[in-house]
C-alpha cells in the first residue's frame, strides 16, 4: 500500500487499509479459486460468483474532484466468456456520503465504455440512490441492475466513486460481489438427488398486501422476513425491520420501485455484522444446502409460473425459500399471500412448478447471513456462496 493513502480520513484508511488483512481475491464458483488477477477455469458451466474483499490493487485515478475518491481495479480476467453481470456491494455510507459503481467489459480484448450500475446511499437527503437509464450502445445495455452484453466478454474492470460528507467521511466498502452468467447456458432446472435431510426454517411470515402501498413490495417484504429470521436467531431486535422501512431504504426512483436487486442486498448488508449479495445458483441442491446451513435464500421467480400459470406471462416476483418437505416440495414464504383472507404466507410448492419459475431469473437469489456464519463448503461441480 502506498503511503499517499496514510493521510486520508480514518474511514478511507479503514476501507483501503483493511485489505491487508483480507483475502486478496476469492472465487465462489465450481471448483476454482486463486489470489491473483487471472481467475482459473471453472470445472462446470456457469453460473459463477466472485467476491472481492481486497481493494489494495485498486488505483486512484487523476480525475478526482473535490470530495470524491475514484478507485479503479486492474482488468480482471473472468472464468469464462459471459454476457450477463450483476454487481452487488456491502458498504456503510454515513449520512451525506454515497457510492457510484461502474464496470466496463472486454469482449475480444477490446474495452467497452464504463456502464453505471447504480448510485447508492443509505440516506438520500444529499446523495442519490438510483439506477441509470438509457445506457444502451453497440456493446450492451444496463437493465436496471444487470449489465447485458451483445457479445460475450472475457474480462472486466470496476470503478468506484466514493463521495464524502462535508466532514470528510467516506463510504466503507467491505465486499463487491460479481455474478456472471452466459445467457443461453442456463443453470439446471431439473431435480437432483437430495443430499440433506428435509428442513424448514422458522422464517416469520409477512405479506406485502398488508400495506396500502405494498402492491409492488415483494422484494422488501422478503428481505424484511429474512432479517426478522436472523433477528430471532441472533437475538438482535435491531434486525427486525418493518416492511415499509425496508421499502423506503431500497426504493429506486428511476426504475421506479423497490425491486432493484443489489439495492435490496445492500440495505441488508448495511446492518452491522451482516453480509448480503445477489448471485445465481446451479440447481435445487444449492438451495437445500443453504437451508440445511440455516440460511434461507430469497428467490427471484416468475409470478405466473410459480402460481400455476401455463406460461410465463407476468413480471418477476420474490419469495423466501424456507425449506423442503419430506416429499421434496419447496416450502416458500410468498409475500403476495392474503393472510387476512385465510391465504397463508407459507405454502408448499411442487418442484415441477417451483424450478421453472426460478429458472425464469437464471436461478437468481439474494443470500443474507451474518458475516461469521458458516456456509456450505465449495467443491468441484457445485456452486459455492
Cβ atoms of residues 182 and 82 within 8 Å: yes
Question: Which set of grid coordinates corresponds to residue 106?
Answer: 472486454
Q: Classify 370 as helix, strand or coil.
A: strand
- The whole-number average pLDDT for the span 78-98 is 95
Report the pLDDT value the prediction gives residue 183, as an integer from 0 to 100: 86
Report the pLDDT value the prediction gives residue 62, as an integer from 0 to 100: 62
Question: Which set of grid coordinates corresponds to residue 329?
Answer: 416440495
CA distance 342 to 196: 32
Lowest mean pLDDT segment, chosen from 53-67, 81-95, 359-373: 53-67
Q: Is the pLDDT of residue 187 over 90?
A: no
Report the pLDDT value the prediction gives residue 321, as an integer from 0 to 100: 98
> CB-based contacts of 73: which residues, under 8 Å, 6+ apart?
52, 55, 57, 58, 157, 158, 159
φ and ψ of 78, to 5 deg: -95, 165
CA distances from 329 to 297, 312, 344 (A): 16, 21, 16
Cβ atoms of residues 27 and 39 within 8 Å: yes
Lowest mean pLDDT segment, chosen from 162-176, 217-231, 309-323: 309-323
Cβ atoms of residues 118 and 131 within 8 Å: yes
Q: Is the pLDDT of residue 205 over 70?
A: yes
Q: Name the more confident of 42 and 250.
A: 250
CA atoms lying within 13 Å on the CB side of residue 186: 13
Lowest mean pLDDT segment, chosen from 54-68, 121-135, 371-385: 371-385
Sorting pLDDT into bands at 50, 70 and 90, what band is 61?
A: confident
Domains in the chain: boundaries = 3-181, 208-370
**Percent over 90 (pLDDT), the chain:** 75
pTM: 0.87
Report the pLDDT value the prediction gives residue 44, as an integer from 0 to 100: 44
Torsion (CA) 146, 152, 153, 154 in degrees, nearest 10: 120
Cβ atoms of residues 172 and 90 within 8 Å: no
CA distance 245 to 231: 16
Q: Is the pLDDT of residue 385 over 60?
A: no
Provide the 10 A C-beta neighbour count for residue 60: 14
Q: Is the pLDDT of residue 22 over 90?
A: no
Cβ atoms of residues 183 and 83 within 8 Å: yes
> DSSP secondary-structure letter at 210?
G
Report the pLDDT value the prediction gives residue 3, as an integer from 0 to 100: 25
CA distance 20 to 24: 8
Cβ atoms of residues 175 and 53 within 8 Å: yes
Report the pLDDT value the prediction gives residue 23, as an integer from 0 to 100: 32
Report the pLDDT value the prediction gives residue 71, as an integer from 0 to 100: 95
Report the pLDDT value the prediction gives residue 66, as an integer from 0 to 100: 78
Lowest mean pLDDT segment, chosen from 22-26, 133-137, 148-152: 22-26
pLDDT digits (tens, 9 = 90+) for 286-308: 999 999 999 999 999 999 999 98
Please, which residues bridge with residue 82 across strands?
153
Question: Which set of grid coordinates corresponds to residue 14?
Answer: 479503514
Longest dimension (CA), the chain: 64
CA distances from 66 to 7, 58, 97, 166 (A): 16, 19, 13, 11
Report the pLDDT value the prediction gives residue 193, as an integer from 0 to 100: 58
Q: Which of 190, 191, 185 is nearest to 47 (CA)?
A: 185
Q: Is the pLDDT of residue 140 over 80?
A: yes
- The whole-number average pLDDT for the span 224-228 is 98
- The whole-number average pLDDT for the span 61-81 is 87
Q: Answer whether CATH 3.90.180.10 is correct for domain 208-370.
A: no
pLDDT digits (tens, 9 = 90+) for 311-365: 776 679 999 999 999 999 999 999 999 999 999 999 999 999 999 999 999 999 9
- For every residue of 254-290, DSSP letters joined together read TTTBS--HHHHHHHHHTSTTEEEEEEE-SSHHHHHHH
pLDDT digits (tens, 9 = 90+) for 153-169: 999 999 999 999 999 99
Distance of CA 286 to the CA centre of its chain: 16
Report the pLDDT value the prediction gives residue 168, as an integer from 0 to 100: 92
Q: Is the pLDDT of residue 11 over 60?
A: no
Q: Domain 3-181 class?
A: mainly beta
φ and ψ of 130, to 5 deg: -165, 155
Which residue bears the cell 454515513?
Answer: 94
How much is the mean pLDDT over the chain? Answer: 85
> CB-based contacts of 241: which residues, under 8 Å, 6+ apart?
224, 227, 228
Sorting pLDDT into bands at 50, 70 and 90, what band is 196?
A: low
Amino acid at each position: 500500500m502506498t503511503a499517499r493513502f496514510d493521510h486520508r480520513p480514518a474511514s478511507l484508511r479503514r476501507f483501503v487499509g483493511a485489505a491487508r488483512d483480507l483475502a486478496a481475491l476469492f472465487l465462489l464458483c465450481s471448483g476454482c479459486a486463486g489470489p491473483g488477477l487471472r481467475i482459473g477455469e471453472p470445472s462446470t458451466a456457469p453460473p459463477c460468483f466472485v467476491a472481492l474483499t481486497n481493494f489494495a490493487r485498486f488505483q486512484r485515478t487523476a480525475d478526482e474532484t473535490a470530495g470524491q475518491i475514484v478507485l479503479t481495479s486492474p482488468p480482471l480476467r473472468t472464468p469464462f466468456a459471459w454476457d450477463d453481470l450483476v454487481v452487488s456491494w456491502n458498504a456503510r455510507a454515513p449520512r451525506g456520503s454515497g457510492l457510484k459503481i461502474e464496470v466496463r467489459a472486454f469482449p475480444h480484448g477490446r474495452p467497452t465504455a464504463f456502464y453505471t450500475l447504480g448510485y447508492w446511499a443509505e440516506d438520500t437527503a444529499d446523495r442519490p440512490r438510483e439506477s441509470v437509464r438509457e445506457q444502451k450502445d453497440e456493446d450492451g445495455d444496463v437493465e436496471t441492475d444487470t449489465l447485458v452484453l451483445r457479445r460475450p466478454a472475457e474480462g472486466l474492470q470496476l470503478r468506484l466513486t466514493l463521495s464524502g460528507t462535508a466532514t470528510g467521511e467516506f463510504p466503507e466498502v467491505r465486499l463487491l460481489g460479481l455474478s456472471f452468467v452466459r445467457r443461453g447456458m442456463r443453470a439446471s432446472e431439473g431435480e437432483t438427488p437430495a443430499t440433506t435431510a428435509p428442513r424448514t426454517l422458522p422464517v416469520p411470515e409477512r405479506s406485502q398486501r398488508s400495506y396500502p402501498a405494498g402492491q409492488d413490495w415483494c422484494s422488501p417484504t422478503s428481505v424484511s422476513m429474512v432479517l426478522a429470521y436472523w433477528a430471532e436467531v441472533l437475538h438482535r431486535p435491531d434486525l427486525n425491520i418493518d416492511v415499509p422501512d425496508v421499502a423506503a431504504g431500497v426504493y429506486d426512483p428511476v426504475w421506479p420501485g423497490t425491486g432493484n436487486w443489489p439495492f435490496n442486498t445492500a440495505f441488508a448488508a448495511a446492518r452491522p455484522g451482516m453480509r448480503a449479495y445477489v448471485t445465481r445458483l446451479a440447481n435445487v441442491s444449492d438451495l437445500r444446502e443453504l437451508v440445511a446451513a440455516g440460511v434461507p435464500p430469497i428467490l427471484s421467480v416468475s409470478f405466473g409460473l410459480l402460481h400455476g400459470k401455463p406460461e410465463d406471462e407476468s413480471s418477476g416476483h420474490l419469495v423466501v425459500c424456507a425449506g423442503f418437505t419430506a416429499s421434496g416440495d419447496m416450502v416458500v414464504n410468498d409475500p403476495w399471500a392474503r393472510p387476512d383472507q385465510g391465504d397463508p404466507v407459507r405454502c408448499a410448492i411442487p418442484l415441477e412448478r417451483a424450478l421453472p419459475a426460478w429458472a425464469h431469473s437464471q436461478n437468481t437469489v439474494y443470500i443474507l447471513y451474518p458475516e461469521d456464519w458458516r456456509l456450505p463448503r465449495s467443491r468441484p461441480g457445485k456452486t459455492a456462496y
